[in-house]
Amino acid sequence: MLKKDLIESEAIKVKPSKRYIAKNTKSVKVLEEFSNDWDYDVRCGVANNMNCSVEVFEKLSKDSNYYVRCGVAWNKNCPVEILEKLSNNQDDVIVQCYASKNLDRIRSAKS
């Protein structure tokens, strides 16, 4: 068996991780479901997905995990209202910075 054939046959057996699915799915229903996952890594995948609904962004912007909130703050499709809230959060300096930079990027693209 050639190495290429072995790699292809092994690739068929591998299932994508929940984080990979969360980060790459276009299904709003899947994103809503995964936004409640116990694993913060899955919620990070959701926060980084460009297809999140406003409701999912809102929920994840209040997540107890720092990395999830960072994902929301850096997502280019996050609504301005949520980014403004995150950019004013004095308790979360890094999230505040990400949200501010994302807001600047959005505002400069509009002008």
Cα distance between residue 44 and residue 65, in whole Å: 9
Long-range contacts of 106-111 (CB under 8 A, 24+ apart): 106/76, 106/80
One digit per residue, the tens of pLDDT, for the chain of length 111 reads 444 544 444 445 556 899 999 999 999 999 999 999 999 999 999 999 999 999 999 999 999 999 999 999 999 999 999 999 999 887 888 888 888 998 888 888 877
Could you tell me if 18 and 45 are in contact, meaning their C-beta atoms sit under 8 angstroms apart?
yes
pTM for this entry? 0.80
Q: How far apart are CA 94 and CA 92, in angstroms?
A: 6
